[in-house]
Amino acid sequence: MAIPRPLRALAIVTAFLFLYLVFQIFRRAPSIPGPGDLEQELPNEPTLEDTGEPPEPLHRADEGYAADNPNSPRINATLLALVRNEELGDMISSMRDLERTWNSKFNYPWTFFNDVPFSDDFIRLTRAATNATCNYEVIPEEHWAVPNWINSDLFDESAKMLEEQEIQYGPLVSYHQMCRWNSGMFYKHPALKDIRYYWRVEPKVHFFCEIDYDVFRWMQDHNKTYGFTINLYDAPQSIPTLWPETKKFIAAHPEYKHENNAEEWVVDSKRRPEHNMKANGYSTCHFWSNFEIADMEFWRSKAYEDYFEHLDRAGGFFYERWGDAPVHSIALGLFEDKNKIHWFRDIGYQHIPYFNCPKSPKCKGCVTGRFTDGERFLFKEDCRPNWFKYVGMD
């Protein structure tokens, strides 16, 4: 018996859809060999667990933290932002989030940096966004300028190569200047000479959770050097000689390595083997430094100052695209006690396209456990599993 024409058409369409679905499932081969290719959430995602505050002692907000109290329990710390006048709207957005969730209770000062003077509008509107003191600082020319040992022709050629490799911001001189300043210059500014702790805040970031304790006092009381929220892999094409230069430095100064360091995290080759290969021995794991809460005494130490000087003279801030995040992270991973580095799991944070969103009644506006709202391949950029493996979740 002949099959009716409508049924034949339905069978053909069904077969086509089935073959299309099979093709979609199997068509995409991993771009990077190795276990790091898994484009999926972290198994047993820790931010899906109930998240409370870090261990006591915790200093709570009270009337003593009023902005106009000269005898406040605030310690020697500031909120720090490198920002341009044209980023005013995005900076105000970040300020409102952090003021709402934390700083309106503690009133730590804001210190804004720019390589040109701030506009009247920038000053007026940022002051209106907080009750705390605001300081506006211009970066000294000698801290921002391209060093005289950098060859401009070589930089131009290197910038073309970075652009061909699709390295973001590679051709922009100002981006290289910013990375160098954030790596080894910011803490030398005269406005910070008497400041010890800072919380770095960038334009267009978001904070989601109420924080009811003095974060700076917690860092001091618990002898912590550095706090982070997000831990990522870097683009190895942007830093091919950073680790070889680091090895040269360590060979000359083995005394700077801390006996309880996180070198295994720095050099891991198992999860993203091609990253390690392209970066010549560096895993490319780093703390995403658009959020960092840190003790500047570490950057002012002889170990770090000598390390930065070595890197600066090597030229990689301009001939490659060495960012402050991998430079800070390698230094912390080698020269500091790994137990003095803290994951602030309780601070809800986003810098597009990544999140730190804990499970807590204090949080709203983000999806618990979400690492990214971007493409699936972005999940493999998560280096937290390595940090948890080699160091832990403190």
CB proximity list for 249: less than 8 A, separation 6 or greater: 306, 307, 310, 311
In 3-state terms, what secondary structure has residue 226? Answer: strand
**Encoding tokens for residue 321?**
């695209």
Phi, psi (rounded to 5 degrees) for 344: -80, 75
Which of these, 181, 287, 281, lies nearest to 241 by C-alpha position? 281
Active site residue 292: yes
DSSP state of 287: E
> Rounded to an integer, what distance in angstroms lies between the CA atom of residue 68 and that of residue 221?
24
SS3 content of the chain, % helix, strand, coil (to 5): 45, 15, 40
Of 391, 240, 392, 230, residue with least CA distance to 325? 230
Distance (Å) of CA 284 to CA 35, 138, 240, 263, 311: 16, 32, 10, 12, 16
The β-bridge relationship of strands 134-138 and 197-200 is: unpaired
Mention every residue, 6+ apart, whose C-beta is less than 8 A from residue 74.
65, 106, 107, 108, 214, 216
Sign of CA dihedral 167, 170, 171, 174: positive
Tell me the C-alpha distance between 40 and 38, whole Å.
6
Q: Tell me the C-alpha to C-alpha distance, in Å, between residue 182 and each of 143, 198, 264, 317.
A: 10, 13, 25, 11
* Active-site entry in 87, 245, 292, 320: 292
Looking up tokens 């000479």 gives: 193
Alpha helices in the chain, H assignment, sequence order: 5-26, 88-98, 104-106, 120-128, 141-144, 152-164, 173-184, 215-221, 242-252, 263-267, 273-278, 296-299, 302-314, 316-319, 324-335, 384-390
Q: Which residue has the tokens 């077969």?
A: 15
Which of 38, 36, 28 has its CA nearest to residue 274?
A: 36
Residue 228 phi/psi, 5° resolution? -135, 165
Active site residue ranges: 292
